[in-house]
């Protein structure tokens, strides 16, 4: 069961980043405009897309998964701080906490990698 859980967890976490990166490509101008509105330079969007798709694929395939998980965890925390800081808006607060939870799960991968662990 351990190998199935590990594979499933990689799929579930990585798909979030891969699909998000694809949506940023298909809605490039909209995403870039939103980034500019939030004070993030639009020229960073290709790096965001590369981080999401590249990191998501690396995590999915187990290629340097600890490095990928570390980078994606940092990315998730930075995104939470930049884009979800209006805690008076319940959806922003939920998205902030979601990003932190994702970062927490990714840090677990940083610590233990993709192998079965014993506690």
**The tokens of 97 are what?**
């906490």
Contact 72, 106 (CB under 8 A): yes
- pLDDT at res. 81: 97
What does pLDDT average to in each consecutive run of 10 residues of the chain (119 residues)? 81 96 98 96 97 97 94 98 95 97 94 63
Q: How many CB atoms lie within 10 A of CB 63?
A: 11
Give the C-alpha separation, 41 to 24, whole Å: 15
Say whether 76 sits in a helix, a strand or coil: helix
Which residue's structure tokens are 């891969």? 18
Give the C-alpha separation, 73 to 16, whole Å: 13
- pLDDT at res. 117: 47
């Amino acid at each position: 069961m351990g190998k199935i859980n590990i594979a499933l967890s990689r799929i579930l976490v990585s798909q979030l980043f891969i699909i998000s990166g694809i949506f940023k490509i298909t809605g490039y101008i909209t995403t870039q405009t939103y980034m500019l509105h939030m004070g993030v330079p639009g020229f960073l969007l290709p790096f965001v897309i590369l981080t999401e798709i590249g990191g998501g694929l690396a995590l999915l395939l187990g290629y340097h998964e600890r490095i990928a998980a570390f980078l994606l965890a940092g990315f998730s925390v930075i995104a939470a701080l930049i884009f979800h800081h209006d805690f008076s808006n319940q959806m922003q607060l939920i998205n902030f906490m979601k990003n932190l939870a994702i970062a927490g799960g990714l840090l677990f991968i940083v610590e233990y990698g993709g192998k079965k662990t014993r506690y």
